[in-house]
Amino acid sequence: MAQHEYEAKFLAIDVDAVRDHLRSAGAERVLDKTLFTRLIFENDAVQGEQWLRLRDEGGRTTLTLKQVTDATHINGTTEIEVEVSDLEKTAELLTALGLRQVRYQQNYREEWRLGIVTYDLDTWPDLPTFLEVESTSEDAVRKAVAELGLDYGQARFGSIDLIYKSELGRDILAEPTLLFTRQVS
């Protein structure tokens, strides 16, 4: 069954200040900065604001059906996710079922946890590092955001392509690859 994602993104952040706050609040860094790769698949049945994401999370691989119904609200995205053991074999299976790999993307993620809240510092090609706060409810996200001293009114929702469009005027959905041109420190 599809689960609502309760996550909010904050673009204009001081990364070091966020880390310091999380550390002093007792959060645990559960993932050091790690390169993620994702393959996005579509077909005639999986299209528009719905897609399959096959992602290598640096030692863990997931296959997720994502659907955005309202990119303006925190609960406007649902997902069904399973862990798979082999990225290449899963990609081969999806292709054999008639899905097309339409995008190959990279990003770096550093993940922190405190209670039921996950804090991801995400770095994507050509964008400054931003913060994604995710939890089990909108209230939990709002509380976590307030504790960080961030303004919930500045929160962004929906998928990464909306951030590229608003911040860079760039349509990454039309780009088959989204890669780093140099190593990110």
What domains can be seen in the chain, in order of their start residue? 3-178 (2.40.320.10)
Q: What is the pLDDT of residues 106-144, one digit of tens each?
A: 999 999 999 999 999 999 999 999 999 999 999 999 999
* pLDDT for position 1: 64
Q: Band of the pLDDT at 3, cuts 50, 70, 90?
A: confident
The DSSP string of 53-106 is EEEE-SS-EEEEEEEES-TTSTT-EEEEEEEES-HHHHHHHHHHTT-EEEEEEE
Six-digit token string for 168? 């860079």
- DSSP 8-state symbol, 176: S
CA-to-CA distance for 90 and 92, rounded, in angstroms? 5
* pLDDT for position 69: 80
Longest dimension (CA), the chain: 49
Q: Please, which residues bridge with residue 66 across strands?
A: 51, 79
CB 118 within 8 A of CB 134: yes
* pLDDT for position 183: 67
* pLDDT for position 185: 64
Q: Band of the pLDDT at 66, cuts 50, 70, 90?
A: confident
151 CB contacts (<8 Å, ≥6 apart)?
145
CA-to-CA distance for 80 and 72, rounded, in angstroms? 20
Q: DSSP 3-state assignment of 35?
A: strand
Q: Band of the pLDDT at 93, cuts 50, 70, 90?
A: very high
Q: Band of the pLDDT at 174, cuts 50, 70, 90?
A: very high
